[in-house]
């Protein structure tokens, strides 16, 4: 199997409280994304992103592709899958800030599959999504998946 | 206080010939971004992002913040940090490695103290905490004079 590498660069200036940074994707798909600590832990975003928002986008993308792959393998390729990932960072006593949870909400339109088979495929997609597996160092992954008619 | 951040993705069709979209981020900072399996799993990405690239962006960003904090706590707030994360993805196996690099401009610090702070940030940033134990984490830290 080929080894695929993907990278991103960050430019940061100053301390944590008042400093800020910019994030650039190696592919050029996104560039100069601004972020700061205030936005990361606060409720307003001022149009700025955060590591957790990037992880949420990654998890939604990863799970969706994994589910498309498993459904195809099971003989029921999907018409459409919509996934929302909600990544939660919290302060854990004695351990500082940790990513504690990623909650996935999945809606799939799949011709010719029954509910039981769909459940099995969702579990396989979770096991096969590289990101779901990866973040289990500190985070729980929960999945709310439904078939759409 | 807990911070929640959301991402949304849509996929149409099977994995190999279908395609997807990571929708515009709730903050408005990026997206919508197109994704395909080919762009994710082949060397030639064709300018498209992938979950691995988004994770590398999150990791490089998280590491830079953690390091700025560690340095400032020791009385050496950085002028500038250039960080990167490179994720290795082996299709069929998963993500095997995240390699962090940093080049720092930090007034009044010696190389050894800087490297030690970078190690602390590598181990302590929340994204590292989630990945730890599941992937190889490496660090290459360098101090440069401005």
Q: How far is A36 from chain B (nearest CA, A)?
A: 8
> For B30, which of A49, A52, A85 is closest by C-beta distance?
A49
ipTM of the complex: 0.95
Domain boundaries of chain B, sorted by first residue: 1-49, 51-143
The pLDDT tens digits of the residues spanning B85-136 come to 999 999 888 899 999 999 999 999 999 999 999 999 999 999 999 998 889 9
pLDDT given for residue A4 in this prediction: 94
* pTM recorded for the entire structure: 0.95
Judge whether B61 and B130 are in contact, CB under 8 Å: no
The alpha-carbon gap from A21 to the nearest alpha carbon of chain B, in Å, equals 8
Whether residue B32 has a cis bond before it, omega within 30° of 0:
yes
Contact assignment for A53 to B6 by CB distance below 8 Å: yes
* The token pair that represents B144 in the structure block: 């440069």
Which CATH superfamily, name and number, covers B51-143? Answer: K homology (KH) domain (3.30.300.20)
In the predicted structure, residue B146 carries a pLDDT above the cut 80? no
Considering CB atoms only, which of A3, A28, A137 is closest to B130? A137
Q: What are the chain B neighbours of A8 within 8 Å (beta carbons)?
A: 53, 56-57, 59-61, 84-85
Mean pLDDT of B7-30: 96
Contact B51 A65 (CB under 8 A): yes
Which pLDDT tens digit goes with each residue over B52-96? 999 999 999 999 999 999 999 999 999 999 999 999 999 888 899
A51-92: per-residue pLDDT in tens?
999 999 999 999 999 999 999 999 999 999 999 999 999 999
Q: How confident is the model at residue A101 (pLDDT cuts 50, 70, 90)?
A: very high
């Amino acid at each position: 199997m080929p080894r695929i590498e993907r990278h991103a660069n960050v430019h940061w200036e100053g301390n944590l409280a008042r400093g800020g940074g910019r994030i650039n994707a190696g592919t050029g798909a996104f560039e100069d994304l601004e972020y700061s600590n205030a936005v990361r832990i606060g409720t307003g975003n001022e149009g700025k992103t955060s590591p957790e928002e990037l992880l949420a986008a990654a998890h939604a993308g990863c799970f969706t592709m994994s589910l498309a792959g498993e459904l195809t393998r099971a003989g029921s390729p999907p018409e459409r899958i919509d996934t929302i990932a909600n990544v939660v960072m919290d302060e854990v006593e004695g351990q500082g800030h940790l990513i504690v949870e990623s909650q996935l909400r999945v809606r799939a339109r799949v011709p010719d599959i029954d509910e039981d088979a769909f459940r099995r495929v969702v579990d396989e997609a979770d096991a096969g999504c590289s990101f779901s597996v990866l973040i289990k160092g500190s985070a729980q992954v929960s999945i709310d998946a439904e078939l759409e008619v | 206080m807990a911070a929640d951040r959301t991402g949304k993705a849509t996929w149409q069709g099977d994995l190999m010939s279908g395609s997807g979209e990571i929708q515009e981020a709730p903050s408005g900072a990026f997206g919508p971004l197109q994704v395909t399996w080919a762009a994710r799993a082949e060397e030639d990405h064709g300018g498209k992002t992938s979950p691995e690239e988004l994770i590398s962006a999150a990791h490089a960003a998280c590491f830079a913040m953690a390091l700025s904090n560690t340095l400032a706590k020791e009385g050496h707030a950085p002028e500038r940090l250039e960080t990167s994360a490179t994720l290795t993805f082996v299709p069929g196996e998963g993500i095997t490695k995240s390699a962090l690099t940093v080049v720092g401009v930090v007034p009044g610090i010696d190389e050894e103290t800087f490297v030690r702070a970078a190690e602390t940030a590598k181990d302590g940033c929340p994204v590292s905490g989630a990945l730890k134990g599941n992937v190889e984490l490496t660090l290459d830290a360098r101090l440069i004079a401005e």
